[in-house]
Chain A
Amino acid sequence: MLRYALKRLISLIISLAVASLVIFFVIEVAPGDPAQFMLGMNAQPDTLAALRAELGLDVPKWERYLDWVGGMLTGDFGTSYTYRTPVADMVADRLWVSLPLALYALTLSTLIAFPAGIYAAARRGRAGDVAVMGATQLGVAIPNFWFAMMLVLIFAINLRWFGAGGFAGWDKGFWAGIHSLTLPAIALALPQAAILARVMRSSLLDILGEDFMRTARAKGLSRRQALWRHGLRNALIPVLTIIGLQFAFLMAGAIIIEQVFYLPGLGRLIFQSISARDLIVVESVVMLLVFAVIVVNFLVDLAYAAVDPRLRSRT
């Protein structure tokens, strides 16, 4: 297990290193000089040079790359070009919206998908199964930002149960915050729930065909008892992997959904920074998202290997 963990850790580090290189150089080749952008076209050359020096743009690329990576390792994400505040603080503020949103959506998607998937598997081939599978087909076909607009139209504009956008802030209390994240979380959760329900169903169906399930039935358990006692636990392994992967999709999907609801999250920060050519913010936020995805995948792999020793021999 230790050997496996070590091997995965090395590949994690390589992935992160390559990812940081790619992100840094993609942004480096971007047209537009941030200093020029901040000062306007008529800036004096010496003012420009001074600002470039202040922003640290005058040193060689590789040196800036090392600075950037080294800074991130110690929690220093650099200073925003436009706001002149530490990027780490800006990210931390926004994370308080994006992270709860992703977790909220993950919870909702799991709460919808588990019963739906189990129900469909238990009623395989019958009307209930067909209905659930039909609904999931529709669920994966609906763009979540469009679904979000429909939710706003119905629940915010017509029924007035929720605000149409914006974030109340956690300082107004936990429930006020949750309330303003509810529609975005539902919009985010829907397609994920559809995918998860399908995984749950097919994983359960695989397990139902196993010998030990026949044994369980043979020793006198009813279909339902066998499903709950032996089937579910074994079917859960692939489902947990997908949940881990979904977390990544939710963080990324939140970027679009935040636009629909005008939520002050990481997604809005990325878009604002892109249009202001605040590249250091874009770099750091994208790297943070990639970091989150890679680390979550790593943890899921480890958990997987801890549960199922057969996987450790595979690489």
Chain B
Amino acid sequence: MRRNLWLGGALSSLVVLAALISFVWTPFDHAAMNIPEKLQRPNAVHWFGTDHFGRDIFSMIMVGARTSIAVALVAVGIGMALGVPLGLAAAARKGSWLDELIMRGNDLIFAFPSLVIAILITAVFGAGAINAIIAIGIFNIPVFARITRGAALSLWEREFILAARVAGKSAARISVEHILPNVANLLIVQGTIQFSLGILAEAALSYVGLGAQPPTPSWGRMLADAQTLVSLAPHLALIPGVAIILTVLGLNLMGDGLRDYLDPRLRVART
């Protein structure tokens, strides 16, 4: 299944590249309005056409990629930074009150319909990219905590960990020096999946107006703007949608491919 890795990697790199290039170059200023040229279909000048303000959609898609990637990436970062240590601690103290507390807390976060709570958080603390990141990030914590704990528990039974314990290393040191490197692959794969889910969540939040605020372009809000114009100019809805789908598809394929590549033992049907 090396094909998945290549195809997914290529799609993801394309999006990341577009986002990076947008810092130095876009065909047009993404925020520049040009009413006489509004609602153009894709053409030689405006490759993806223009929106109802005459803004260049290709440029908006490029800058929007930046928003999507930034929000999803930082949300994954939050999930890993808090979830992984929690998972390691829970595994190191298996069965203790700490383990119990961490896992029950995780169950609780899992029980919340994430989108509802994300909407609640952004609605209460104000719409914006930062609050969207926090809202998405919170739900990444239990995902990483659980997967780290699960993998770490089986590692704690292994001989090389026993050897480290006999050598007098503390649980914390063993967790960092021996457990963490061995769960890293798993975390990378899960990180890719959470990244793609983050892109979808960001799109949904900005679609309902709770994500990044104007003038920062975001794919979700482009879709919201397109909604009333969809019969007049279908490309307004089509293009940001395809951008989201290709990004998420690319990341998912890359996640699948990475998992097979990094750990052939995990080659099971992904659900």
Contact = CB atoms under 8 A, between A and B. Distances in A.
Contacts of B227: 149, 260
A252 B269 contact: no
A138 B249 CA distance: 7
A14 B113 CA distance: 17
Contact of B207 (A30, A31, A195, A256): A256
A245 to B, nearest CB: 9
Interface residues of A, number: 50
A290 B121 contact: no
Contact of A146 (B104, B121, B223, B231): B223
Nearest to B231: A157
Contact of A270 (B107, B119, B245, B268): B119
A198 B204 contact: no
B111 interface: yes
A138 B269 contact: no
A63 to B, nearest CB: 21
A251 B114 CA distance: 11
Interface stretch (A19-27, A73-81, A103-111): A19-27
B184 interface: no
Interface string A261-304: 00000000011001000000010001001100110010000000
A259 B208 contact: yes
Nearest to B232: A157
Nearest to B270: A198
A199 B271 CA distance: 5
B237 A153 contact: yes
Given A142-B245, A198-B270, A282 B231 contact: no
Given A199-B271, A271-B208, A143 B241 contact: yes
B111 A143 contact: no
Nearest to A251: B113
A137 to B, nearest CB: 6
B108 A15 contact: yes
Contact of B223 (A145, A157, A205, A251): A145
B80 interface: no
A15 B270 contact: no
B125 to A, nearest CB: 8
Contacts of A289: 113, 116
B244 A143 contact: yes
A45 to B, nearest CB: 26
Contact of A141 (B120, B123, B207, B252): B252
Given A29-B124, A149-B226, A290 B111 contact: yes
B116 A145 contact: no
Given A26-B120, A143-B244, A149 B237 contact: yes
Nearest to B8: A137
B234 interface: yes
B115 A252 contact: yes
Contacts of B226: 149
Contacts of A249: 113
> Which of B120, B238, B248 is packed against the most chain A CB atoms within 10 Å?
B120
Given A141-B248, A252-B113, A274 B108 contact: no
A202 B113 contact: no
A27 B124 contact: yes
A242 B271 CA distance: 10
A30 B252 CA distance: 36
Contacts of A255: 115-116, 119
Contacts of B196: 141
Contacts of A137: 249, 252-253
B221 to A, nearest CB: 12
Nearest to A296: B111
A69 interface: no
B208 A23 contact: no
Nearest to B4: A137
A311 interface: no
B19 interface: no
Contacts of A253: 115
Contact of B124 (A26, A142, A195): A26
A43 interface: no
A150 B237 contact: yes
Interface string A184-219: 000000000001001101100100000000000000
A285 to B, nearest CB: 9
B162 interface: no
B111 A145 contact: no
A307 interface: no
Contacts of B125: 30
26 contacts: A19-B111, A26-B120, A30-B125, A31-B126, A138-B245, A140-B252, A141-B245, A141-B248, A141-B252, A146-B223, A146-B244, A149-B230, A149-B237, A153-B230, A198-B271, A242-B271, A252-B116, A255-B116, A259-B207, A270-B116, A274-B119, A274-B123, A282-B120, A290-B113, A290-B116, A293-B111
Given A143-B241, A286-B120, 5 more contacts: A11-B107, A30-B125, A198-B269, A256-B204, A290-B111
Interface of A: 11, 14-15, 18-19, 23, 26-27, 29-31, 137-138, 140-143, 145-146, 149-150, 152-153, 157, 195, 198-199, 201-202, 205, 242, 248-249, 251-253, 255-256, 259-260, 270-271, 274, 282, 286, 289-290, 293-294, 297
